[in-house]
């Protein structure tokens, strides 16, 4: 996958928004993401990232530049003009600065949007071709152009000099999404219902628009929008229609490339989880080291009429939420279970749980069936992914309506008892014992010996506590224990026999 460079970023953002103070590795250094510095969290390893020095005065950011270099980052962004240029050059990282009064959240939005918006255009990159098409349409039609998907996300925008723009366009490009309003929504309905280009009146504070839907085989793939300042070309509508035809081809190709990449990543994840993939090669392709496997499953049998369709929809929902959080992401459906590989470098475990809870909630609403999620242990490298997957599978087996989401560490006792039950059932020596006689006697005579014993064991052999659990008088509980000894020969005062009997009744007697 092509990665933009520091030079690409500066071309998109430019001064005075962001100023380059030094770039010892040159403008060809890769830029992959913008991260906000958190003094209360460990600095993640993030090759190619730009670190925003939140809460760190520029003059005191020297140690942060060295830490960023150690984490493989490309550069550090500080506020004001007092940045540590010498320290940055010595560390080999770029140093950029923004105005002293710039809000960090706005800087982050600006940089993240620019990094995600304009990738390098070499190698036939579909998104780069969309930007080239936006420029070509803008030149032919005579107005600033954007290419959008059906969800009003801006996929590409023109940068032809001298063309009129307005605040709606600026805000849309900044957030890569069209500002929402009821009037705007109505205009989209008009565009998608029309067979060709539509001229739309100006909304409050904006210029009029010329727009057309992008379609292929009756499917709406997106739309093209042109700012109309009254100086559009005479054949603007024809030129826009031709542009929409080309956009349809590019969007279909981008979809095919995206689907292929997802398929390849999913196949790689499948082999990684079953231990047949090379972890080093997988790490290089996926860009991951420490990971945690999350497993999601709908509480509907796979053999149900819509079981397979439900599982596929769950896969789409999990992938969408993970990509929104982590960018390109590997998810796969295996035997009715959706697995996601969650980056764990510098990530707090609680954040993984919150993500899983959010997915379970959203998926339950969308699919109209309950969904469970299990999180395995964090693996320090991709070689540990199969073990983390095994953990996640076990977590799924012990979850229920009262606990639909859990990490393996939260339910370790349940898992231990589950595994003990499996081992004991398969071993004659471990499954033989007085517990069978207790259950057989209850079945034949209508007694409650097993229930009484478990209550007594769980009350730590306290007669009053056991009686309270059973809802009987302590003398009744005492009498029942004597009957168990007399009728079945069980010595409840022998600690070894108590331990074995409790364990067998607890894990085998269900």
Please tell me the distance from the alpha carbon of residue 173 to that of residue 163, in angstroms, as a whole number.
Answer: 15
Domain(s) of CATH 3.30.450.40: residues in the chain: 122-254
> Side by side, which strands form the sheet with 33-36?
19-22, 94-98, 75-79, 49-52, 33-36
Q: How many CB atoms lie within 10 A of CB 246?
A: 16
8-state DSSP, 206:
S
Distance CA 325, CA 115 (A): 16
Which part of the chain is CATH 3.30.70.270? 287-417
Residue 1 has pLDDT above 60, yes or no: no
Confidence band of 121 (pLDDT split at 50, 70, 90): very low
Residues 450 and 78: their CA atoms lie apart, in Å, by: 69
pLDDT band at 119 (very low <50, low <70, confident <90, very high): very low
124-130 CB contacts, 8 Å cutoff, 24+ apart: 125/2, 126/250, 126/253, 126/254, 126/257, 127/155, 127/156, 127/254, 128/2, 129/250, 130/155, 130/156, 130/247, 130/250, 130/251, 130/254
Residue 211's closest CA among 153, 147, 126?
A: 147
Distances (CA, A) of 445 to 290, 439, 487: 57, 10, 12
- Give the three-state DSSP class for 277: coil
The token duo for 210 is 């010329």
Q: What pLDDT score was predicted for residue 207?
A: 95
What class is the 427-507 domain? mainly alpha
Tokens at residue 137, please?
């349409």
pLDDT band (50, 70, 90) for residue 16: low
- Least confident interval from 7-11, 38-42, 244-248: 7-11
Per-residue 3-state assignment (H helix, E strand, C coil) for 441-500: HHHHHCCCHHHHHHHHHHCCCCHHHHHHHHCCCHHHHHHHHHHHHHHHCCCCCCHHHHHH
Short-list 237, 234, 185, CA closest to 210: 237
DSSP strand E in 189-259: where?
198-200, 209-216, 219-227
Which pLDDT value is given to residue 304?
52
The pLDDT, as a whole number, for residue 190 is 95
Which fold does the domain 6-117 belong to in CATH? Answer: 3.40.1390
Residue range 82-86: mean pLDDT, rounded? 92
Output the CA–CA distances (angstroms, integers) from residue 204 to 184, 325, 472, in the order listed.
10, 33, 76
* Sign of the dihedral defined by the CA atoms of residues 229, 233, 235, 240, in that order: negative
Fold of 122-254: Beta-Lactamase (3.30.450)
pLDDT on residue 348: 64
> Across residues 215-238, what is the average pLDDT?
93
Separation of alpha carbons 96 and 23, rounded Å? 9
Strand 405-407 with 371-375, pairing: parallel
Let me know: does 270 contact 349? Beta carbons within 8 Å.
Answer: no
* H helix or E strand, kind and range, residue 391: helix 385-398
| Tokens coding 410 | 């939260």
User: What pTM did the predictor assign?
Assistant: 0.51
Kind and range of the H or E element at 155? strand 154-157
The predicted-structure confidence for 402-418, as pLDDT tens digits, reads as follows 999 999 999 998 888 88
Assess whether pLDDT exceeds 90 at residue 297.
Answer: yes
Intervals of CATH 3.40.1390.20 along the chain: 6-117
Q: Does pLDDT of 57 surpass 50?
A: yes
CA nearest to 131, candidates 147, 111, 114, 153: 147
Which strand (E) or helix (H) includes residue 423? helix 412-425
Radius of gyration of the chain from its Cα atoms, rounded to whole angstroms:
31
SS3 405: strand
291-298, strands of its sheet edge to edge: 331-334, 337-343, 291-298, 371-375, 405-407
CATH architecture of 287-417: 2-Layer Sandwich (3.30)
Measure the CA–CA gap between 295 and 389, rounded to whole angstroms. Answer: 8
Strands 19-22 and 33-36: unpaired
Of 187, 202, 196, 200, the residue nearest 238 (C-alpha): 196
């Amino acid at each position: 996958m092509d990665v933009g460079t520091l030079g690409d970023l500066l071309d998109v953002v430019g001064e005075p928004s962001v100023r380059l103070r030094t770039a010892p590795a040159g403008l060809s250094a890769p830029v992959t993401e913008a991260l906000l510095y958190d003094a209360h969290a460990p600095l993640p390893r993030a090759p190619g990232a730009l670190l925003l020095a939140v809460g760190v005065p520029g003059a005191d950011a020297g140690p942060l530049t060295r830490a960023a270099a150690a984490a493989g980052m490309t550069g550090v962004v500080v506020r004001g003009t007092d940045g540590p240029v010498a320290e940055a050059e010595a560390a080999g990282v770029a140093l950029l600065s923004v105005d002293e009064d710039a809000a960090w959240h706005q800087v982050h939005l600006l940089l993240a949007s620019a990094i995600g918006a304009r990738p390098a255009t070499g190698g036939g990159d579909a998104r780069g071709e969309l930007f080239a098409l936006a420029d070509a349409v803008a030149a032919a039609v005579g107005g600033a152009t954007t290419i959008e998907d059906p969800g009003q996300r801006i996929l590409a925008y023109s940068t032809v000099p001298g063309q009129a723009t307005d605040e709606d366009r600026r805000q849309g490009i900044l957030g890569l999404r069209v500002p929402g309003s009821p009037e705007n929504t109505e205009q989209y309905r008009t565009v998608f219902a029309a067979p060709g280009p539509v001229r739309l009146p100006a909304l409050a504070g904006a210029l009029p628009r010329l727009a057309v839907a992008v379609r292929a085989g009756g499917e709406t793939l997106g739309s093209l929008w042109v700012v109309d300042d009254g100086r559009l070309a005479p054949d603007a509508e024809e030129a826009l229609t031709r542009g929409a035809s080309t956009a349809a081809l590019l969007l279909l190709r981008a979809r095919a490339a995206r689907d292929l990449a997802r398929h390849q990543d999913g196949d790689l994840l499948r082999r990684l989880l079953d231990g047949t993939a090379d972890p080093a090669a997988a790490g290089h392709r996926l860009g991951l080291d420490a990971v945690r496997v999350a497993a999601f499953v709908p509480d509907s049998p796979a053999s149900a009429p819509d079981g397979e369709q439900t599982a596929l929809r769950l896969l789409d929902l999990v992938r969408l939420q993970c990509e929104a959080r982590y960018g390109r992401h590997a998810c796969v459906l295996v035997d009715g279970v959706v697995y996601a590989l969650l980056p764990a470098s510098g990530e707090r475990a609680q954040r993984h749980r919150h993500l899983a809870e959010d997915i379970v909630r959203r998926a339950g609403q969308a699919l109209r069936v309950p969904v469970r999620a299990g999180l395995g242990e964090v693996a320090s490298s991709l070689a540990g992914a199969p073990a983390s997957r095994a953990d996640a599978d076990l977590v799924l087996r012990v979850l229920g309506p009262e606990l639909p989401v859990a990490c393996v560490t939260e339910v370790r006792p349940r898992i231990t008892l589950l595994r003990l039950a499996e081992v004991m059932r398969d071993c004659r020596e471990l499954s033989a014992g007085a517990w069978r006689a207790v259950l057989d006697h209850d079945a034949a005579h209508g007694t409650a010996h097993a229930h009484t014993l478990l209550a007594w064991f769980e009350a730590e052999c306290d007669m009053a506590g056991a009686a309270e659990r059973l809802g009987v008088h302590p003398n009744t509980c005492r009498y029942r224990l004597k009957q168990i000894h007399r009728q079945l020969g069980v010595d409840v005062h022998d600690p070894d026999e108590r331990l074995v009997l409790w364990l067998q009744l607890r894990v085998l007697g269900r």
